[in-house]
Structure formats: structure tokens, C-alpha cells
Structure 1
Amino acid sequence: MPEDHKVPRGDYEVRESLAKTELAEGRDLNRADAFNEYFRQVYGNVSRAPEVKVLDGKKPFQDAHAGLYFGQVADAYRMIEGEMVPVIVRGYDREKVNELLGVILNTRDRETRKAAWRALQGYTLNIYAHQAKKLLQPDETRPRILEPVPELVERARRLGAEPLAIYQWPETARYDLKLGIVPEVEADLMTSL
């Protein structure tokens, strides 16, 4: 449960409320069937999720997400205040990320590209826009950290469009399953932004 108790309506709200009830009633969560009732109630109430405004009207949450209306879904279900910027972490799995970006750059089939974008989410994190702005600008204490994603810049060039505001963490950085991104800069850089 978020500290400020701000939970998006719909699915998140239903799950948070049901989990709180289960814990308040002191249910034995070690029973094999402990979660049967919880999930029955969750799936029975998910349809209450508000619709997401998209270009051509409104769509149910799942349809908007499946249709890659990520910005609109994020606006409708924002749990963290502040504008966020996506950052691709190639160091998590360079081969896979390179493959997915290659598909996005070179494939004409829209469905194949959509699938690659979806898969790329697993290698992407979001940081606050004000952090990204600082990480894009070098200063006397550190080099520029974030870089544009070359494949996305090239795709935008081919389409005659502006590149998406999606960046990549330096390829030399590594990803630790417990710590997340391990930067090759001062340890307190991210917390000082």
C-alpha cells in the first residue's frame, strides 16, 4: 500500500482493498486454498476498472494496454506523481535488447514491432524527468550518463519524425538482480538528483 494511500481506481484499488481485508481478518495465508477466495473476488471486480481515454474515444484498461496506449494508461493509473522517462538497460541482457531494437528498427510488420515493444518493457525502467534531464547533461562532477537509443533515433530519421524520449543507460553499466542498475559513477549520484 503506498504511503500516501493513493491507489489507482479499478484493478489496483480492488487488490489493495481485498488484501487489506484478508490481513485484517487474520486469515491463515499458509493454507493451500488461502488465495482462492481472494482471486475469485479480484477477477469478479476487475471489470470495474475505469476506461482509458485514447485517440478514438475510450477503451477498457486491458484493451488500451494491449493496444500500446502506454502514455494514456500511465496517465489513467498514475501511482507515482511526476513525469517519468523510460530508460532502456542494455546491460541487463545485451543480446536480447539488441535483437528487440533491431526488430523495431527494421521490421515492417506492425504486429511484430508491437510484440518487440512489449518485450522491451522487461528491459526498461522509468526515472523522473528531472533526473533524466540532469543525467543527459554532463557537468564538472560527472559525464553525460543517459544517451539516445541509436535504433530509435534511426527509425525516427527514416520516418521523418522526432525521436521518442526514450533513453538508454550506458552499456558499461550492469544490472544486479537485487540492486537494480549499478552505475559506474559515484554511488550517491541517483539519490542526489
Structure 2
Amino acid sequence: MVAVLAGFALGLSLILAIGAQNAFVLRQGLRRAHVLPVVLVCAVSDAALIAAGVAGFGVLVEAVPGLEWGMRLFGAAFLIWYGARTLYAAWKGGAVLAAGEGAQSLRAAVLTCLALTWLNPHVYLDTVVLLGAVSAQYDDRLGFALGAMTASFVFFFTLGYGARALAPLFARPSSWRVLDLVIGLTMWAIAAKLILM
């Protein structure tokens, strides 16, 4: 259960950062346009990448001594940078979600979502490298992976279907600042844990 909760917490904290993919899902939710296919594409893609990271990293760790430590340091360095960038965004002032473009066809929405997911280099760092590296510290890697996958499904469905309720809140830059602050501090806390363990 500890591994499941850790996977959920780390998966959720990594996915919370506003980026092109999340902004697209939020816009689709605000417009109530093809929400189910879009959130499914995001969540299933994340699940596939998490599974690859956890399974592949476990095999590599056993085959290459010292790889786990190196990946933990790499993951910590990435999280420190990512946290600093997010905290800088909070200090500078958060962005306001831009109004969405005109309605897209289902095919166009799904293709856009696939491109934003699979062509984003950060998704590989977050899911395959970082989650894979952190999972190696748990005996229950499957539980860790399931926790992270569950976080993806919960997040994307909440974002897509809860977008209408969030619209007034995220119309204000101060809301983005608070979100960025929480994300930045979470990233630094995870980095410290990776280095100190």
C-alpha cells in the first residue's frame, strides 16, 4: 500500500504542472468537446509509458550496477530544475488560460492530443525515466506503477470533466501562482528524498 500511495503522489505531482497537454484537455473540457476520447488518450498513453518505465528500469537496474543511483541523481537534478522553473513562474505571476480555439472534429482533437502527448520530450523524462527510477526503491513496483497510473486517470478525468467548474477560478492569475508554488515545492521535496535516501 505504501508503494501504491507513493506512486499516486509522485504521478499526480508530476502531471499537475500546466503544459500544452493539460491546457488542451482543460480547453476541451471548458468547451465540452470530445472530452471522453481526449482524457482516455492522455490517461492510457501515460499508463503505457509508466508501465514501460517501471518494467524496463527494473530489468536495467539488475543488469547494470550503479544505474539506480545515477538515475536517482539525474531525477533529482531534473526535479530541482523543474521545481525552480515552476517556483519562478509562481514568483513572476501565473498565466491565465487562453480562450480556446474553434471547435475541432473528433479526429482532429484526438490527433492533437496524441501529438501533445507522444511528441513531448518531458513526458518521457517524467514517466519512463523519473517514475521508473523512483519505482526501483520499492519492492512492490507493480503497486507503485498502479498508483501512478491511477493518478493519471484521476487527474485527466477530473481536469476534463471538472473544467467547467474551474473556469472562474483559473481566470485569475493568482490561482496559477498558488498552483505553481505547490508544484515547485513538491518537486523539491521529492528531489531531496531521492538524494538523501
Instruction: Calculate the TM-score normalised by the size of structure 1.
Output: 0.26
Task: Answer 1 or 2: higher relative contact order, Cα 8 Å, separation at least 6.
Answer: 2
More strand by share: 1
Structure of larger gyration radius: 1
